[in-house]
């Protein structure tokens, strides 16, 4: 028995090495990291739950690994019978263990990526950077522009100073990991990185080992499942925590690196602190599209909370700055101001820790900054009072209300230091502080408001009915425009307090009243979803005026469905030809394009091509009317919803569409992947900045006319096939609901927003997120690839020369290459064998042939894809990603099988399993037959333990799939 145990212990490590035979490169430590974390975790599992449970985990892993090696479906059935024989408590522990092992594998990957990056920076070796799919290094980009593309350093500096990347955080409910766990994961990552540091002493190693053990155990002992759904305020707090943890300090650090990169191409100036290189916005608490929980009160709370957080972060830094600014030489301008402040200053202030006595005028910079500190304190406290009690006794004069008055004294200190020969001091912490104020302002982020166009129509209809001039809803577009423009041109108020309001109408008007009440720097854009015509935009302009919004928000139409994207250029042309509107926008317009719904509506292939063409056409229209257009990209985190590597996504946009201004959503789980840790934050800012700069200065090629023709033809075939299956196949919805955990998805409590726009209804009313999520869980990814195969088959069968044309498009046209590469990556993560198991267990027999035909389509599509990319195997061009996916597969397979059998037990009351005796030591010692884990969910509709097991498998698979979940 003992020797068998020893063999078992060695086996997972051995399995890992079998799965991924060799190192990919000299600096590849991934297997080492992975094995270390896994060994630690298995020891913890053994201590907590005994040998038998640990053995069961290893047995599951081995069966999965054997299946991965030979793709033998019998192995899945063996694994299924092992998992279904577990009693409810053991089953939860095992699902939890595999989900946890996947999280650890992800952390090992992040540490390996950071490690490789440091090695490359030391060597200055970016040889593989040009063809790497995910990197853009700012220094490398600047050198490439100057040395290879013959741009002058001044041109590069000029372009960089004038570009803006605005990252918009949205609370799309796909962040399925709890914040309590994210923090523990961060500490595990730190320990692992430090363990492999060069200068580590034996004592350090011992302490780090203990810390690693502690954090892995703490994460495993934390309940991963959210027991209640988050509110929009929770989502906003979770999103804002990234500012606190990484972004706040990350921005000035990144801008310093940009300064260094500029110096290295011969520019001896810094990026001006007020250059809007990076901006942040948010939808959390502002996005009310289909989310009844986002009320006007929520919007108000979220804005005040963000103001309070911003003032608090400035306040926490100002004393450090005062310590630094101990100089006495200053300009006359500053001395006069310091003396004036000194004369009117309060004497001692006991609630300050440092500088609580009145600062003497011999330290003039400190005098100026002590006044800034007082006002920041008041700004924070006033926001806190209003948030808690609705009023504050701190008068508005005592606080900062706009960012200019906050910047002014800081600029005064900066100018004075430079004038006295102390520029090197001015360019220290003071410059960082100025850059933070320029980036975050007083509101931390600007909140966008998003609302559906129909809701505005309801309000205007209530108004016209009340005025007895007819029904706005029934008017033609021409009549609507005529009336809206007449009202916008007039002065009279449209309605008073006697307007009869339904709940919906009151909600929309109250939102506009919040926009009027709060400081205008709280808000960014007003986005209209499902926008189709100019009246949708004019309606919002009129409502802003009627509700006395002092500085009206810019109004942004969002085009999502395929038909709306096709009609968008014409709609924008009609809007720009209205004289009143042209004067209102002052030559600037923003348009948002949605990736999720267009993909769900027509499939990924046609949506990607239509989005490409729509951007080109809208830009053309804007140029004709002399308008500078900013495209706002509503990308999801998953490939099916427009996600994928940042650098590639930006460089594959049509030429002329970015022009130094990019706005893009950063959604749900992607926020953690992009900003969860200091080096991730740095890398994200670098990618966005570098790729935006490169796109503007070295635009990608335009497709040739014959490529366009082929794409148009293929898109028609792809849409036809996608829709014939998803919308026209009479039993497709039934198949989808049986073959995936879509119906159970709502139990995950991962967002404040309902998973459907309308409670009844088929695929159309399902949101894009659960639609993609459900297919990812079964590793079939149908929405991503469906349509591609039919399109390629049609093109190649029509004319064999088309294959060469497609191969040439792949080699030379970034847009086409990115589209194909992302789908190839999804195929590398897919496995039709899992979908087949789900069909066998969960789908009625008369639908099996339908599932088989879809799997046949999957294989055919994959073959065409490899032929066009010129690859023998999936991902042969990216060995690092291939290695990472292979390491994860065995964990994911166990969770897939566990999920399929758990769903079978939940859905089929006649499915009986024989349970073996309880094996988990911790609970076997007590006399209770059911274990305490089951009591975490006492109200489940299902048999004990099944719901939690199911949710743990969903979370684990989502973590393992990363950008396809």
CA distances 84 to 352, 903, 950, Å, are: 62, 11, 13
SS3 483: helix
Structure tokens at 503: 């709940």
**Is 965 in contact with 784 (CB distance < 8 Å)?**
no
Structure tokens at 155: 């041109």
Burial 697-707 (b: 16+ CB within 10 A, else e): bebbeebeeeb
SS3 127: helix
Chain-centroid distance, C-alpha 625: 34
55-62 long-range contacts, CB within 8 A, separation 24+: 55/5, 55/8, 56/82, 56/86, 56/90, 56/94, 56/919, 57/94, 57/97, 57/98, 58/8, 58/11, 58/12, 60/94, 60/98, 60/894, 61/12, 61/15, 61/890, 61/891, 61/894, 62/11, 62/15
**Is 147 in contact with 644 (CB distance < 8 Å)?**
no
SS3 915: coil
Q: What is the DSSP string of 324-352?
A: H-------HHHHHHHHHHHHH--S--TT-
Q: In sequence order, which ranges of 124-175 are alpha helices (DSSP H)?
A: 138-143, 153-161
Active-site residue, from 600, 679, 747, 829: 600
641 is a catalytic site residue: yes
Q: What is the C-alpha to C-alpha distance for residues 56 and 920, in angstroms, rounded to an integer?
A: 10
Give φ, ψ of 663 to 5 degrees: -120, 130
Cβ within 8 Å of residue 750, ≥6 positions away: 173, 174, 175, 176, 226, 230
**Is 448 in contact with 282 (CB distance < 8 Å)?**
yes
Can you give 794-836 as a three-state secondary structure string? HHHHHCCHHHHHHHHHHHHCHHHHHHHHHHHHHHHHCCHHHHH
Active-site residue, from 144, 172, 185, 817: 172
Q: What is the C-alpha to C-alpha distance for residues 367 and 530, in angstroms, rounded to an integer?
A: 54
600 is a catalytic site residue: yes
SS3 287: strand
804 is a catalytic site residue: no
- Output Rg (C-alpha) for the chain, integer angstroms: 30
**How many beta carbons lie within 10 A of that of residue 184, not counting itself?**
21
SS3 404: helix
SS3 166: strand
Q: What is the C-alpha to C-alpha distance for residues 304 and 388, in angstroms, rounded to an integer?
A: 10
Can you give 54-123 as a three-state secondary structure string? HHHHHHHHHHHHHHHHHCCHHHHHHHHHHHHCCCHHHHHHHHHHHHHHHHHHHHHHHHHHHHHHHHHHHH
Active-site residue, from 184, 380, 641, 884: 641
DSSP lists the bridge partners of residue 555 as 526
Query: Torsion angle, CA of 683/684/690/693, rounded to 10 degrees?
Result: -170
**Is 537 in contact with 583 (CB distance < 8 Å)?**
no
**Is 478 in contact with 562 (CB distance < 8 Å)?**
no
Instruction: Identify the DSSP state of 394.
Output: S
Give the length of the chain.
965
* Catalytic residue positions, numbered: 172, 600, 641
């Amino acid at each position: 028995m003992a020797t068998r145990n020893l063999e078992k212990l060695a086996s997972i490590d051995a399995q890992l090495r079998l799965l991924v035979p060799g190192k990919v490169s000299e600096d590849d430590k991934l297997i080492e990291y992975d094995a270390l974390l896994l060994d630690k975790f298995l020891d913890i599992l053994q201590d907590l739950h005994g040998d038998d449970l640990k053995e069961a985990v290893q047995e599951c892993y081995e069966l999965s690994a054997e299946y991965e090696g030979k793709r033998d479906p019998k192995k899945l059935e063996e694994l299924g019978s092992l998992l279904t024989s577990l009693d409810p408590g053991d089953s939860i522990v095992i699902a939890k263990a595999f989900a946890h092992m996947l999280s650890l594998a992800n952390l090992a990957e992040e540490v390996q990526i950071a490690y490789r990056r440091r090695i490359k920076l030391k060597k200055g070796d970016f040889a593989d950077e040009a063809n790497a799919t995910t990197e853009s290094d700012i220094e490398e980009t600047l050198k490439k522009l100057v040395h290879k593309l013959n741009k002058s350093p001044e041109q590069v500096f000029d372009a960089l100073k004038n570009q803006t990347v605005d990252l918009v955080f949205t609370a799309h409910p796909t962040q399925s990991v709890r914040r309590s766990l994210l923090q523990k994961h961060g500490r595990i990552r730190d320990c692992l990185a430090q363990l492999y540091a060069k200068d580590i002493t034996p004592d350090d190693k011992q302490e780090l080992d203990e810390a690693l053990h502690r954090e892995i155990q703490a994460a495993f002992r934390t309940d991963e499942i959210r027991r209640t759904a988050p509110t929009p305020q929770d989502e906003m707090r979770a999103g804002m925590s990234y500012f606190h943890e990484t972004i706040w300090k990350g921005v000035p650090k990144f801008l310093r690196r940009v300064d260094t990169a500029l110096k290295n191409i011969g520019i001896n100036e810094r990026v001006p602190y007020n250059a809007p290189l990076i901006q942040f916005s948010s939808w959390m608490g502002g996005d009310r599209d289909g989310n009844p929980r986002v009320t006007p009160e929520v919007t108000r709370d979220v804005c005040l909370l963000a103001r309070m957080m911003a003032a608090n972060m400035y306040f926490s830094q100002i004393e450090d700055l005062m310590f630094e600014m101990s100089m006495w030489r200053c300009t006359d301008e500053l001395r006069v101001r310091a003396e004036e402040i000194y004369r009117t200053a309060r004497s001692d202030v006991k609630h300050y820790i440092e500088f609580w006595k009145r600062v003497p005028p011999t330290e003039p910079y400190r005098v100026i900054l002590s006044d800034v500190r007082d006002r920041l304190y008041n700004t924070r406290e006033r926001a806190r009072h209003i948030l808690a009690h609705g009023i504050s006794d701190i008068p508005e004069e005592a606080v900062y209300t706009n960012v200019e008055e906050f910047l002014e004294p800081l600029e005064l200190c900066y100018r004075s230091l430079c004038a006295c020969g102390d520029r090197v001091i001015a360019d220290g912490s003071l410059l960082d502080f100025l850059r933070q104020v320029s980036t975050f302002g007083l509101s931390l982020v600007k909140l966008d408001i998003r609302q559906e166009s129909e809701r505005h129509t309801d309000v205007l209809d209530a108004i016209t009915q009340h005025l007895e001039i007819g029904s706005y809803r029934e008017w033609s577009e021409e009549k609507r425009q005529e009336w809206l423009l007449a009202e916008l041109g007039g002065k009279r108020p449209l309605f008073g307090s006697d307007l009869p309001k339904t709940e919906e109408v009151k909600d929309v008007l109250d939102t506009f009243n919040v926009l009027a009440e709060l400081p205008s720097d709280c808000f960014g854009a007003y986005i209209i979803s499902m926008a189709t015509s100019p009246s949708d935009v004019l309606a919002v302009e009129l409502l802003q005026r009627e509700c006395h919004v002092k500085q009206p928000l810019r109004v942004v139409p969002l085009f999502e469905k395929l038909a709306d994207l096709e009609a968008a250029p014409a709609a924008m042309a009609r809007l720009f030809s209205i004289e009143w509107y042209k004067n209102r926008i002052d030559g600037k317009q923003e348009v948002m394009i949605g990736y999720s719904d267009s993909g769900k509506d027509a499939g990924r292939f046609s949506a990607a091509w239509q989005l490409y063409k729509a951007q080109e056409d809208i830009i053309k229209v804007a140029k004709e009317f002399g308008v500078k257009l900013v495209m706002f990209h509503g990308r999801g985190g998953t490939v099916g919803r427009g996600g994928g590597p940042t650098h590639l996504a930006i460089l594959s946009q049509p030429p002329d569409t970015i022009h130094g201004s990019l706005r893009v959503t950063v959604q749900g789980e992607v926020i953690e992947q992009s900003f969860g840790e200091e080096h991730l934050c740095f890398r994200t800012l670098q990618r966005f900045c570098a790729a935006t700069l490169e796109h503007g200065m070295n635009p990608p090629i335009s497709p040739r006319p014959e490529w366009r023709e082929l794409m148009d033809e293929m898109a028609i075939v792809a849409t036809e096939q996608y829709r014939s299956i998803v919308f026209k196949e009479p039993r497709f919805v039934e198949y989808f609901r049986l073959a995936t955990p879509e119906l159970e998805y709502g139990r995950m409590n991962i967002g404040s927003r309902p998973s459907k726009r309308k409670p009844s209804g088929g695929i159309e009313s399902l949101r894009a997120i659960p639609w993609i999520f459900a297919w990812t869980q079964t590793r079939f990814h149908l929405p991503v690839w469906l349509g591609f195969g039919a399109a390629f088959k049609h093109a190649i069968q029509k004319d064999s020369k088309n294959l060469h044309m497609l191969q040439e498009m792949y080699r030379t046209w970034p847009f086409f290459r990115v589209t194909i590469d992302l789908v190839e990556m999804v195929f590398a993560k897919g496995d039709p064998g899992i979908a087949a198991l789900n069909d066998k267990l969960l789908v009625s027999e008369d639908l099996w042939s339908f599932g088989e035909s879809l799997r046949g389509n999957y294989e055919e599509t994959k073959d065409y894809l490899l032929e066009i990319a010129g690859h023998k195997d999936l991902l042969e061009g990216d060995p690092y990603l291939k290695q990472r996916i292979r390491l994860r597969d065995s964990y994911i397979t166990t969770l897939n099988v566990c999920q399929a059998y758990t769903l079978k037990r939940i859905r089929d009351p006649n499915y009986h399993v024989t349970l073996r005796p309880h094996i988990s030591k911790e609970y076997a010692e007590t006399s209770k037959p059911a274990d305490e884990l089951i009591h975490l969910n006492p109200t489940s509709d299902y048999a004990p333990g099944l719901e939690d097991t199911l949710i743990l498998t969903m979370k684990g698979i989502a973590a393992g799939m990363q950008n396809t979940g």
